Amino acid sequence: MTIHLDDEHLDDEHLDDEQLSAYLDGQEPGAARHLGTCARCDERLAALRDAAAAIAGRVPGPPAGAEERAVAGALAGAPPASVVHLRRRRPAPWVAAAAAIAALVVGAGAVRLLRGGPSTTTQAARSGRASSALAAGTVLDGGDLGELSDARVLAERLRTGLAEAPVAAQPTAGKTSVPGPAQSTDQQASRASPGAAATVSGSRPPCAAEAQRTYGPPGPLVYTASLRWEGTPAVALVYRAPAEGTRPARSQVLVMARADCRLLVAQLI
């Protein structure tokens, strides 16, 4: 039976776990009247105190490198103040109309491709004349951006490249996309998850697997380019997230050192 702590007849009753636990936390000062006179409650109190001490005991530290990865990953997902002003401006009405017409053209082209028509998109990309007709699921290789050290310049270069990249689409399991030169449509269809898309060049971009595993980018990889960032050979990976409601779509940029896939720059554009 549980003791009511204002009860004067305590001899045949005991404190319950909640009372004893609260007493440990200084919440039940009245329990002291009973404790010290009841071996059973004293023993239970000691057990609860030991449990609390075990929970508070030494906690194993993080594995080596975990803090670096966690902080870098978090910063990669942060909206950096330095690039807030680089958000795309609202397009003029004529631009929106042109985009709508372009979307219709892209749609017609995609239908043609899915029906087995000529794959003009991969040919265009291969020849360096990538067009906006690239289908979702294709990664555009932007070539070499050269030596860079300014995040604003990097953002502008990537925005220019992104204008040629495929339009963001909601990831759909099993969605068919345009196969790369060395891949069949069936192979591609089985790899339609974000970050696992085909590349125009037919090979997986360097550090893409590391970026996917460590930073979990918000959408599919759509663009990649080589560069030297402050002298370090690097690869830029651009992931495009689908638009959410009225919020415009943004792209997550990860620049990683080619040698060890260390994160050099992370920004949203």
Q: Is 150 an interacting residue with respect to other proteins (CB under 8 A)?
A: no
- Answer for which of 8, 9, 58, 128 binds other proteins (CB under 8 A) is 58
Residues 6+ apart with CB under 8 A from 259: 232, 233
Q: At what angle do helices 66-76 and 208-215 cross, to 10 degrees?
A: 90
> What does each C-alpha distance from 173 to 47, 109, 176 come to in angstroms?
52, 22, 9
98 binds other proteins (CB under 8 A): no
Return the number of the residue (138 or 267) whose C-beta is nearest other proteins.
267
Six-digit token string for 101: 């017409």
> Where on the phi/psi map is residue 72: left (φ > 0), alpha (ψ -120 to 50), or beta?
alpha
DSSP-derived letter for residue 81 is G
To the nearest 10°, the Cα dihedral for 199, 205, 209, 214? Answer: -120
Phi, psi of 248, deg, nearest 5: -70, 150
11 binds other proteins (CB under 8 A): no
Q: Does 52 bind other proteins (CB under 8 A)?
A: yes
Q: 71: exposed, middle or buried (C-beta count within 10 Å: 0-12, 13-18, 19+)?
A: exposed
Which part of the chain contacts other proteins (CB under 8 A), choosing from 10-18, 133-141, 234-242, 244-252? Answer: 10-18
Q: How far is the CB of 210 from other proteins (least distance, A)?
A: 14
Which of 54, 92, 163, 173 touches other proteins by CB under 8 A?
A: 54
Residues whose CB is less than 8 angstroms from the CB of residue 262 and which lie 6 or more positions away in sequence, other chains included: 256
Among 7, 67, 150, 230, binds other proteins (CB under 8 A): 67
Stretch that binds other proteins, among 20-28, 122-130, 193-201, 243-251 (CB under 8 A): 20-28
Q: Is 48 in the site for other proteins (CB under 8 A)?
A: yes
Instruction: Determine contact, residues 123/201, Cβ cutoff 8 Å.
Output: no
Q: Which of residues 78, 97, 182, 259 is near other proteins by CB under 8 A?
A: 78
Among 30, 73, 171, 181, binds other proteins (CB under 8 A): 73
Smallest separation, CB 109 to other proteins (Å): 37
Residue 73 burial (C-beta neighbours within 10 Å; 0-12, 13-18, 19+) = middle
Helix 17-24 and helix 39-56, axial crossing angle in degrees, nearest 10: 60
Q: Which stretch binds other proteins (CB under 8 A): 9-17, 134-142, 197-205, 234-242?
A: 9-17
- Give the whole-angstrom CA distance, residue 49 versus residue 45: 6
Residue of 37, 82, 170, 190 that binds other proteins (CB under 8 A) = 82
Q: Which is nearer to other proteins, 39 or 163 (CB)?
A: 39
User: In terms of CB distance, is 15 or 155 closer to other proteins?
Assistant: 15
Please report whether residue 120 would count as binding other proteins according to CB under 8 A: no
* CB nearer to other proteins: pick between 163 and 173: 173
Q: Binding residues for other proteins, per CB under 8 A?
A: 1-2, 14-18, 20-22, 24-25, 27, 40-41, 43-44, 46-48, 50-63, 66-67, 69-71, 73-75, 77-82, 84
